[in-house]
Structure 1
Amino acid sequence: MGIVQPESRRGFLRLAVGSAVAVGASGLIAPNAVAAAAPGGNRPVPREHIGIQLYTVRSLMESDPQGTLNRLGEIGYATVGVSGLYGHSPQEFRAMLDAAGLRAVLTHLSLDAIRGDWQQALVDAHVLGVQSVVVPSLPSDLQNPAGYRQVAKEFNEAGRAARRSGLRFLYHNHGFDFATVDGQILYDILLQETKRQWVNFEIDLYWAVEGGYDPVDYFRRYPGRFPVFHVKDMAEDGSFEDVGHGILDFPRIFAERRSGVREYIVEHDAPADPLASAQRSYEYLSTMRF
């Protein structure tokens, strides 16, 4: 199989952040370029739809789940994306969320979940109170056109069952989803071979850019298929950064109405201080305009 990697990350960053962002002599995007280039809109991100993926604070959830959830609520988050139950039952986890004043809007479930007792997984999702069930990644042995076509069929079946139970079914991307294999972009196979009434997408904005593509282009080509954004920022060197403190032009991305976005879920894969990162990201997202 022929795998074609994107050009260079530098070129893709220029694409994703828009032509208004200045590129310095070193070829790196200026650290404060996003704020300078932000459109002059006045639309806020609805605060009741600002959430955080609990993967961001996973180390704290292991040791003090209730205290961590309480703190996220105090910061201002209204919602969370669930990334495992940390040894608790769905009922226990829901009780902790309720006590913290948080709503779970989605839960990440493995590909094995849809291949196992999917009906029970959907029942558990309802206990958590989520709107969406999300497959967060695909194994390496399926990262080829035939594998993605196989998964698309499985997603259609799982998505139909989820819809019948009153839930949305989404897929969350990583950078590898944007690889071109045998002339085909893997992510595009999922978009083209799944039915929008059953399968849609939680687009991770960082990973889309890292993979070499402009999220806005996808919103225009596949309108309404991205009800959830994973709002994750990128540092100049390509590593993770707190939202609003990196180089991604979120106002430009958010301003494209054709995305279909309803939920804005902050994530940082490797924060030095998870709660400080969560607070910085919330402060930016709750005050930005687009």
Structure 2
Amino acid sequence: MTKSSRRAFLGTSLGLAAAVGTALPASAGQRRRIPRGGIGMHLYTMRDVLAKDFAGTVEQLAEIGYATVGVSGRHGYGAADIRRMLDTVGLRAVLEHVAYQTLTGSGLPQALEDLHTLGAKWPVVPSLPGSMHSPAGYREAAREFNRIGAASREAGLGPVLFHNHDGDHDVLDGENLYDILVRETDPHLVAFELDVYWASKGGADPAAYFVRHRRRFPALHVKDMAPDGGFADVGSGTLDFAAMFDDAQAGGVKQWLVEHDIPKDPFATARNSYEYLAALRY
């Protein structure tokens, strides 16, 4: 697809979205918008189609309009292979999810080298082992995150990020587990990829985190919640993204990465979610 035809495709897509009433926020028409270079796809959403055709999948994401991706699973390819496929279609990897056990063990140097190969900035811990689900466990994780973050910075990368689920917002023995990580990590070494769906599911207010802990949230997982509490394409569910993102600048958000854990049609989810975020004003 040529650049001119891609622009025409995107213009047509967004025009059709408006014509059929794709969900626009109540604050549409206000000045602020998500930079196009900040709208990405977390590739876990596309895992089924990536396993069948990695190159074709990332090509279609680029044609939809995505600028960046978060890598989650290699599907048998090396970091250099993935970089070549992304470069071919003009996509940029910004982060990669790497298991906690890998980053705390002997796999850390290779993981950081792979990030350089991918052209990405942030290693991301996708979750903590269940055995660490206690205030003591999260304090141990905070110490480990500081160590990993120092190694990442020394390697010329960004801070290590932590990706949350709902249970990370539990209050145990009077302490909020997620807040332990925020308080007891060095902001220069550790930051957060806030999954706004799981934060909301866990009873947290993402916007409040942006204000209370400024510039700690360079990346988001933008995932919507269906009325029954399940997953929904971005813009079709119950989360008020316009209100949520009003303080995103204070939180330091650079990347808005779309995610849907169990999409029926990954490409439809990708299109619907991109069109909503590209049209969003807040």
TM-score by length of 2: 0.89
Secondary structure in 2 aligned to 1:130?
Answer: coil
CA deviation digits over 1:227-260, x for unaligned, max 9?
Answer: 1111111111111000011111111111113111
Q: 1:243 is matched with which residue?
A: 234
Which of 69, 77, 81 is 2:58 aligned to?
69
Is residue 94 of structure 1 aligned with residue 83 of structure 2?
yes
CA contact (8 A) 2:44 2:259 kept: yes
Cα deviation, residue 194, structure 1:
0.4
Q: 1:12 is matched with which residue?
A: none
Q: CA 1:59–1:171 in 2, change beyond 3 Å: closer, same or farther? A: same
Secondary structure in 1 aligned to 2:94?
Answer: strand
Secondary structure in 2 aligned to 1:105?
Answer: strand
Cα deviation, residue 165, structure 1:
1.3
Is residue 227 of structure 1 aligned with residue 218 of structure 2?
yes
Secondary structure in 2 aligned to 1:133?
Answer: strand
For residues 205 and 212 of structure 2, what CA distance do their matches in structure 1 show? 11
Which of 185, 190, 200 is 1:199 aligned to?
190
Alignment of 1:121-270 (within 5 A): 121-168=111-158, 169-256=160-247, 257-270=249-262
Q: Which has the higher contact order (CA 8 A, sep 6+)?
A: 1
Q: 2:277 is matched with which residue?
A: 285
CA contact (8 A) 1:179 1:211 kept: yes
CA contact (8 A) 2:41 2:257 kept: yes
Which of 238, 244, 268 is 1:276 aligned to?
268
Amino acid at match of 2:176: I
Q: Which runs of 5+ in 1 are unaligned?
A: 1-31
Q: 1:25 is matched with which residue?
A: none
| Corresponding residue pairs, total | 258
Once the two structures are aligned, what percentage of the paired residues are identical? 51
Amino acid at match of 2:271: Q
Q: 2:109 is matched with which residue?
A: 119
CA contact (8 A) 2:235 2:276 kept: yes
CA deviation digits over 1:115-163, x for unaligned, max 9?
Answer: 2221111001100000111001111111110100001000000001101
CA contact (8 A) 2:24 2:280 kept: no
Q: CA 1:271–1:119 in 2, change beyond 3 Å: closer, same or farther? A: same
CA contact (8 A) 1:39 1:252 kept: no
For residues 245 and 175 of structure 1, what CA distance do their matches in structure 2 show? 21
Q: Which runs of 5+ in 2 are unaligned?
A: 1-20
Measured on the aligned residues, the alpha-carbon RMSD in Å equals: 1.3
TM-score by length of 1: 0.86
For residues 139 and 115 of structure 2, what CA distance do their matches in structure 1 show? 26
Secondary structure in 2 aligned to 1:113?
Answer: helix
Q: CA 1:248–1:38 in 2, change beyond 3 Å: closer, same or farther? A: farther
For residues 59 and 129 of structure 1, what CA distance do their matches in structure 2 show? 24
Secondary structure in 2 aligned to 1:170?
Answer: strand
Secondary structure in 1 aligned to 2:281?
Answer: coil
